[in-house]
Amino acid sequence: MAYTKIKITGIIEVKTGLHIGGDDSFSAIGSVDSPVVRDPLTRDPIIPGSTLKGKMRSLLARDFGTTPLAGVRGFESDCAEIKRLFGSSKTGSDAAGTGMQMSRLQFSDCFLANKKALPQIFENKFENTIDRLTSVANPRQIERVVRGSEFSFDLIYNVENPDEVKEDFENIAKAIDLLENDYLGGGGSRGNGRVLFKDLATEVVTGDKTLDVPELR
């Protein structure tokens, strides 16, 4: 069987201000306390592929009822359905009889797609933390990407077992639905990071072009 890859593309629309923290080690006096992560070439905001992968995996693991095992680090206690999508770095053999496993999903950084349509890209949200002992307020500025921003979404799925493609895509769709009803980045309990996936499309880009590819929506 030819090595087959399926590309999943779409748009991630920001519904409420999005904050995925960047490096503030060289912030000037008077600047925001917590800037967002940016593309070093354009200085536009990005959604790192690692952030997207980690959030989708975490939400899917909770949906499957995965609980961390004593002495097992990170996501190594995940079930087989999650490990084959997101991978496992563990060497040797674990309780499930599986060792190191390559991820079937290859995430890409998501870049701003509608910059020209936005009146502005960033906003500063002022927040206070209150010391419970002294009642002293500690104000800070959080930088956010404005609502209405759209980021290109690009994901590659490697077909390892054609018989598992349908189930894998059902789990990918579930992870997307879970994320839309949760949040991305920081400050989700304070209203940040609500997103919507739209214009999702799938295409076999290499290998078996006759493969029946499930739709995500």
The 10s digit of each residue's pLDDT in 78-91 is 899 999 999 987 65
Structure tokens at 190: 């304070």
The 10s digit of each residue's pLDDT in 149-205 is 999 999 999 999 999 999 999 999 999 999 999 999 998 998 999 999 999 999 999
In whole angstroms, give the CA distance from residue 39 to residue 180. 24
Q: Has residue 56 been placed in a domain?
A: yes
Q: Has residue 212 been placed in a domain?
A: no
pTM as predicted:
0.85
Q: Has residue 213 been placed in a domain?
A: no
Total domains in the chain come to 1
Helix (H, G, I), strand (E, B) or coil at 175: helix
For the chain, the straight-line distance linking the first and the last C-alpha, in angstroms and rounded, comes to 28
- The answer to whether 196 and 182 are in contact (CB under 8 A) is no
Helix (H, G, I), strand (E, B) or coil at 42: coil
Domain range for 19 is: 4-206
Strands 150-159 vs 195-206: parallel, antiparallel or unpaired: unpaired
Which one-letter amino acid corresponds to residue 131?
A: D
